[in-house]
Amino acid sequence: MSDMLERARELDVADAIAHFRDRFDLPEGVIYLDGNSLGPLPRATRERLHRVIDTEWGEGLIRSWNELPGGGGDWIAMPQRVGAKIAPLIGAQAHEVIACDSVSVNLAKLIGAALSLNPGRNVVLSEPGNFPTDLYMIQGDDRVEQRLAQRDRMIDALDEDVALLLLTHVHYKTGEMFDMAALTKAAQDVGAIVLWDLSHSGGAVPVDLNGANADLAVGCGYKYLNGGPGAPAYAFVAERHHGDFSQPLTGWFGHAQPFAFSDEYEPAEGVKRLLAGTPPVLAMAALESGVELIAEIGMEALVAKSRALSEFFRECVADLDLDLVSPRDPAQRGSQLSFRHQNAYALSQALIARGVIGDFRDPDILRLGFAPAYLRFGDIAEAARHLAQVLETGEWQQPEFQERAAVT
């Protein structure tokens, strides 16, 4: 392990984006390997929220819905503005992405949009073990017939009854990544629309929605985009569908002229019609700050370091009794490594007690995220050392590590 610590020091010296760690507010003594669940606090976000609260809300009051004379405000445009900043991170045009609501709500809207684009079909195809909310949103629409197929049979399950193929690009448990371009083409060849969930992709792995000819996508703001707990999500609709789709949540902010207060709904142009209610201004401001930081670092540098971090961790734990369930090829997985262990929950709690924060996914997955914007190779070597000690000493067997919390 001493050799790995020395290598880590060398890698940290050579790391071209190491200085961005100082742009995050990270607690002392913590190695944070859970940015795949909740990103840490960017320092600029605290400053931004103070400005929005004290100046835009405190002084500008309701005037801040429009742009203030000295700059700031313009809350009304936040969903489009933040969406436009997310767009380059996922291979989309600025006018194809909007920040709004949650992933779950946006899934409901885009399932409806897919049905409107594909009249006469009602089958939504996904996979067993997809993130539950994706499946629940399919099941909650009584117009839809759900069909599930294993990954190796997905293309065979596509036929002319399928209205929509709904898949998560990077699997939340294993980190395995679908071939977006190949599956999109296979679905479109039988006339289906494709909706990609980018919750574990956006800001973490290369995504090129337009390059893959994707139709629809959703993603979340609180993981790799560091938008804060409960941050707004985002939604993508390819430009070619802008004039044709409808969605079921026809709220007033999605109206073509919301302040005309008409009795009759008239959808706004393009992705703006995905809006429903009033945007959460404080949460949107926090998300914008996080997105700006990730955009400043750049996806190419982030992806390269993420893969280097996870590969270095694999080397560090190569001799441990762990069953890797993530793909070994870093180009085939997200920014995480997942290990199967019958006592994964207790292991995760023992690590947290040592200041190494990863997470657990039922029933037996220890999941560790390698968000590259703030992690050091030294953190990775130390995390591996702690994991080795927890396994060697059996300290995970202590009673306090067996009790399940409400959030696991």
Ordered DSSP codes for 4-68: HHHHHHHHHHH-TTGGGGGGEE--TT-EE--TTT---EEHHHHHHHHHIIIIIITTTGGGGGSBP
Strand pairing of 162-168 and 123-126?
A: parallel
Tokens of residue 400, six digits: 């306090």
- Exactly one of 20, 24, 32, 131 is catalytic; name it: 131
Is 85 a residue of the active site?
A: no
- Exactly one of 307, 367, 376, 385 is catalytic; name it: 367
> 124: part of which helix (H) or strand (E)?
strand 123-126
By the 8 A CB rule, do 18 and 378 touch?
no
Distances (CA, A) of 44 to 16, 22, 149, 288: 21, 11, 44, 10
Is 222 a residue of the active site?
A: yes
CA angle 5, 38, 52 (to 5 degrees): 120
- Exactly one of 34, 101, 197, 359 is catalytic; name it: 197
- Exactly one of 222, 224, 236, 374 is catalytic; name it: 222
- Exactly one of 85, 109, 223, 376 is catalytic; name it: 223
By the 8 A CB rule, do 220 and 103 touch?
yes
Cα distance between residue 197 and residue 238, in whole Å: 14
Strand pairing of 233-237 and 97-100?
A: antiparallel
Strand pairing of 193-197 and 216-219?
A: parallel
By the 8 A CB rule, do 121 and 187 touch?
no
Active site residues: 131, 197, 222-223, 367
